């Protein structure tokens, strides 16, 4: 009896060891709050599975996933055709949630919601609008007493999907910005001070009077930061919210490309928030370790079935149903 019990225990131990998997991922800071929650919950409900994620920015996520340094990557700016062709590991974009990038500010004596246009935001980062009392800002915000004080622009110093979303938007609404700075995960900013991660930009703006920056919505909310509404293509000033992000995604949901690489910044619609975006996990088309590939595939199914219901509590918008169904179908091709 004891021998049988010992054999049974040994069998369970071997099975557990065989099923144990530790996966490592790296990339975007934009979705880090929801990814941290998901990976923790998934690991807790799947004994032996541990998913580790480093919030190091989209640029690093693309680079490490492309070179096979990590088991998966994450980005808020889709890979370019060149990046895809040069990658040692062939990767597939899986959209996970949608979020918003917000213009945030720290102006002593001004706690209300300011209004911004794309041209004004572009002007601040081009160094053309340098004072909070500038007429272009004042005209958008009648009744607000703006200080006669220099603006301190804050930007991401690391390769960043948040920067990609922000510059993608500004390049669409400002020809001057498009020609002088352009869109990318990493650009040359002519003015301001750089900080690493959404966390770094949020911290700098919070602690620096008269500063202006851009962060993902959840970081502004968690840090109790002031952030403004932005004028959309319909001429309406919209403040970021999950419903406004969902409205921005409505058109893309109907015409989602097969590789899921799509931009929804400055999307049409009266209620759409103009600096909205999908964010993606970068999953190998064929994992070097089939066991890890199976765990990744299982996690993605879990995400669609369970994880999406949790995203709004952290101020993200869930995948539109047509996109979720398309993602579910795409998982059949990942190994």
Q: Using 50, 70 and 90 to split pLDDT, how confident is the model at 4?
A: very low
**Rounded CA gap, 224 and 146, in Å?**
20
Which residues in 174-185 are b (16+ Cβ under 10 Å) and which e? beebbeebebbb
Q: Which two tokens stand for residue 245?
A: 């992000």
- Overall average pLDDT of the 70-99 stretch: 96
Cα–Cα distances in angstroms (integers) from residue 182 to residues 154, 164, 172, 283, in the given order: 17, 9, 9, 28
CB-CB contact of 280 with 327 (8 Å): no
Using the predicted structure, report yes or no on whether residue 5 has a pLDDT greater than 70. Answer: no
**Rounded CA gap, 295 and 298, in Å?**
5
- Residue 254's pLDDT is 84
Q: Which two tokens stand for residue 89?
A: 């590991």
pLDDT digits (tens, 9 = 90+) for 283-301: 999 999 999 999 999 999 9
Using the predicted structure, report yes or no on whether residue 318 has a pLDDT greater than 50. Answer: yes
CATH of 22-99+277-333, one of 1.10.10.10, 1.10.10.60, 3.40.190.10, 3.40.190.290: 3.40.190.10
**β pairing state of 152-156 and 193-195:** parallel
pLDDT digits (tens, 9 = 90+) for 123-136: 999 999 999 999 99
Provide CATH 3.40.190.10 ranges for the chain: 22-99+277-333, 100-254
**Rounded CA gap, 54 and 191, in Å?**
29
Q: Using 50, 70 and 90 to split pLDDT, how confident is the model at 174?
A: very high
Residue 317: DSSP 8-state: B
- Overall average pLDDT of the 155-165 stretch: 93
Of 228 and 253, the structure prediction assigns the larger pLDDT to: 228
- Residue 12's pLDDT is 39
CATH of 100-254, one of 3.90.1720.10, 3.30.420.590, 3.40.50.720, 3.40.190.10: 3.40.190.10
CB-CB contact of 51 with 43 (8 Å): yes
Backbone angles phi, psi at 14, to 5 degrees: -65, -40
């Amino acid at each position: 009896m004891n021998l049988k019990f010992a054999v049974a225990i040994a069998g369970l131990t071997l099975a557990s060891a065989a099923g144990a998997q530790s996966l490592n991922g790296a990339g975007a800071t934009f979705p880090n709050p929801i990814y941290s929650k998901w990976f923790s919950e998934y690991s807790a409900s799947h004994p032996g599975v541990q998913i580790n994620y480093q919030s190091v920015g989209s640029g690093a996520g693309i680079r490490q996933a492309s070179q096979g340094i990590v088991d998966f990557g994450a980005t808020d700016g889709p890979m370019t055709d060149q990046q895809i062709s040069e990658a040692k590991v062939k990767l597939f974009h899986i959209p996970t949630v949608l979020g918003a990038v917000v213009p945030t500010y720290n102006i002593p004596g001004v706690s209300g919601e300011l209004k911004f246009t794309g041209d004004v935001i572009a002007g601040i980062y081009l160094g053309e609008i340098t004072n909070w009392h500038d007429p272009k800002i004042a005209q958008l915000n009648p009744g607000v007493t703006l200080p006669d004080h220099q603006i301190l622009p804050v930007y991401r110093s690391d390769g960043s999907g948040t920067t990609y979303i922000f510059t993608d938007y500004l390049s669409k609404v400002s020809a001057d910005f498009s020609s002088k700075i352009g869109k990318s995960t990493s650009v040359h900013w002519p003015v301001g001070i750089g900080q690493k991660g959404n966390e770094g930009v949020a911290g700098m703006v919070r602690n620096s009077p008269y500063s202006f920056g851009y962060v993902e919505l959840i970081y502004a909310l968690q840090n109790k930061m002031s952030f403004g509404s932005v004028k959309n293509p319909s001429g309406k000033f919209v403040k970021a919210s999950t419903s406004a992000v969902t409205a921005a995604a409505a058109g893309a949901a109907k015409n989602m490309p097969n590789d899921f690489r799509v931009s929804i910044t400055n999307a049409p619609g009266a209620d759409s928030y103009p600096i909205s975006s999908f964010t993606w996990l970068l999953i190998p088309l064929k994992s070097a370790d089939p066991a890890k590939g199976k765990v990744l595939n299982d996690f993605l199914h879990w995400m669609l079935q369970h994880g999406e219901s949790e995203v709004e509590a952290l101020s993200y918008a869930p995948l539109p149903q047509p996109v979720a169904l398309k993602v579910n179908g795409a998982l059949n091709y990942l190994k």
